[in-house]
Structure 1
Amino acid sequence: MRPKTCVVTGASKGIGRGIAERLGADGCDVVVNYRSSEAAAAETVDRVEAAGGSAIAVQADVTNLAEVEAMRDEAHESFGPVDVLVNNAGITQDVRFTEMSHEEWDTVLDVHLDGTFHCTQAFYDDLADAEEGRLVNISSIIGKEGNFGQANYATAKAGIFGFTRTLALELASTGSTANCVAPGFVLTSMVEELPDDIKETIRADTPLGRLGTVEEIADVVTFLASDRSSFITGEVIDVNGGKDL
């Protein structure tokens, strides 16, 4: 039986890197997508292979359908049809709504929503034809709660909820699933750079009293990517330390 082939977008660092590495530990073949961080993507490939998987790094801007389709072709050439797609690529451009430009609005929605659309469209036939295809979309607690200065990001992440549930319905007849993971505040480099008082406020507002780890998000994603999740579809899985309790 061949290893599962997995595509993880935005996998050069942070949560995407953690997901790719964890899939490698499960023996998967992993396509490490990146937009511009070639050296960091190469490091992710090394980590996947050290964990026990096989990997290649593939450059593609998820907002560009032609580049996404080229990534699909390279994935097919290297590993064959794709069984798992993890739509993780994302950016932030934070600014108060009254000062937000249309460009700042469009740029964030393009990556999160157009990027998710492009990648899912490119790999849809693979997922539908797989014995048990898996679509896992990464959203955020911000899509549920909103956040000051993040109208663009919150809107994009909320849109991923509806997209996931619709794809779950459309994939259901094929036996493949679509789910969404909505992390809370996780110790990535971006969060670690926040002022200490803000991090302490986040901890105090979280029932478990701490921030999450990349590994905790990756464990949930890889469970949803596995055969063990066969009867779970259309769900938004919150991994946020109980913030919505």
Structure 2
Amino acid sequence: MSEVHSRPVAIVTGGSRNIGRAIARALAAGGASIVIVARSDKEAAEAVVRELEAAGVEASFVLADVARESSADIIVDHALQRFGRLDILVNNAAIRREKPVEAMSFAEWHEILGICLDGAFLLSRAAIPHLSAAPAGAIINIGGLTAYTGAPNRAHVVAAKAGLDGLTKALAVELAPRGITVNLVSPGRIGTDRSHAGAEKNPAHHARNVTLSGKEGTAEDVAAMVAYLAGPAARFVTGQTVHVNGGAFLP
């Protein structure tokens, strides 16, 4: 293991593009060193690392499939070997496909739950001992609006994101005695690049979930809330679902 790092260290899964990339930038701006996790796009992960390093931030990346049980230890060990500590875990990795439920295979169902929900469980479990040793350990899960509103052709995505809400509450209660906060940020309609594999170009639920202003949010809007929840000002906030949706859903 490397010498213990002086800056807080954050792991961001799905950190190579869109909301994940914005989260990495926001946490870096707040003083954290960053470990980007991407499933396969090495070029995109390297580009984020170069960007952060150019801004004077220490950063690294690891390619791993968060749905695989063995990946969790690989990712956490990478952070510890590189920086010697772990303070923040952001479970952002997700795939949001659309398909009618009666046409959905079990493999397609499980692929989405594996990445969104199993991955968050596995990473959290591996990270807990190290977050417990941090001065202010934090887990932030990234949910989704359709977990609360429903959506056609997204049974797997809705179930996975709703499961993240439950996992967040359970972990918040269990980990509070160890000084770890656990919260969920639920983005609404956010303008993102949907050109990559696994992204639906025009999700059907977008026509239903309209913001009060009529405008889409940005990845930076979501990232700002994540940075707050990961920071020292939010130590009294845990077990919460924070909606960043422009008023499209009012719980």
TM-score range, shorter chain: over 0.9
In structure 2, the residue corresponding to 1:68 is in which secondary structure? helix
After TM superposition, the structure 1 stretch with the greater mean CA deviation from structure 2, 160-169 or 20-29, is 20-29
Counterpart position of 1:106:
110
**Offset at residue 208 of structure 1 (A):** 2.1
**Is the CA contact (8 Å cut-off) linking 1:4 and 1:29 kept in structure 2?**
yes
1:218 counterpart (207, 220, 223): 223
Residue 14 (str. 1) matches residue 22 (str. 2): no
In structure 2, the residue corresponding to 1:189 is in which secondary structure? coil
Q: When you count helix as a share of all residues, which structure comes out higher?
A: 1
Change (3 A) 1:108 1:192: closer
Aligned counterparts, 1:151-190, within 5 A: 151-190=155-194
Structure 2 gap segments, 5+ residues each: none
In structure 2, the residue corresponding to 1:46 is in which secondary structure? helix
Opposite residue 158 of structure 1, the aligned amino acid is A
**Is the CA contact (8 Å cut-off) linking 1:27 and 1:54 kept in structure 2?**
no
Residue 236 (str. 1) matches residue 226 (str. 2): no
Q: Aligned-pair RMSD on alpha carbons?
A: 1.9
2:121 counterpart (103, 117, 123): 117
| Count of residues in correspondence between the two structures | 242
Counterpart position of 2:72:
68
Change (3 A) 1:104 1:224: same
1:131 counterpart (135, 143, 147): 135
**Is the CA contact (8 Å cut-off) linking 2:96 and 2:200 kept in structure 1?**
no
Q: Take 1:53 and 1:68, find their aligned partners in 2: how far apart are those partners?
A: 24
**Offset at residue 49 of structure 1 (A):** 2.2
Opposite residue 194 of structure 1, the aligned amino acid is N
What do residues 86-125 of structure 1 show as CA deviations (whole Å, max 9, x unaligned)?
0000012310112111111111011111111110011011
Residue 145 (str. 1) matches residue 153 (str. 2): no
Structure 1 gap segments, 5+ residues each: none
**Is the CA contact (8 Å cut-off) linking 2:97 and 2:200 kept in structure 1?**
no
Q: State TM-score, norm by structure 1.
A: 0.93
**Is the CA contact (8 Å cut-off) linking 1:25 and 1:48 kept in structure 2?**
no
Opposite residue 130 of structure 1, the aligned amino acid is A
What do residues 59-104 of structure 1 show as CA deviations (whole Å, max 9, x unaligned)?
1110112122112111101111210000000012310112111111
Counterpart position of 1:25:
29
List structure 1 segments (4+ residues) > 4 angstroms apart after TM superposition.
none
1:36 counterpart (17, 34, 40): 40
Q: Take 2:119 and 2:53, find their aligned partners in 1: how far apart are those partners?
A: 27
Counterpart position of 1:56:
60
In structure 2, the residue corresponding to 1:90 is in which secondary structure? coil
**Offset at residue 193 of structure 1 (A):** 4.1
In structure 1, the residue corresponding to 2:15 is in which secondary structure? coil
Change (3 A) 1:104 1:192: closer
Q: State TM-score, norm by structure 2.
A: 0.91
Q: Take 2:92 and 2:55, find their aligned partners in 1: how far apart are those partners?
A: 20
**Is the CA contact (8 Å cut-off) linking 1:26 and 1:53 kept in structure 2?**
no
Change (3 A) 1:43 1:168: same
**Is the CA contact (8 Å cut-off) linking 1:24 and 1:49 kept in structure 2?**
no
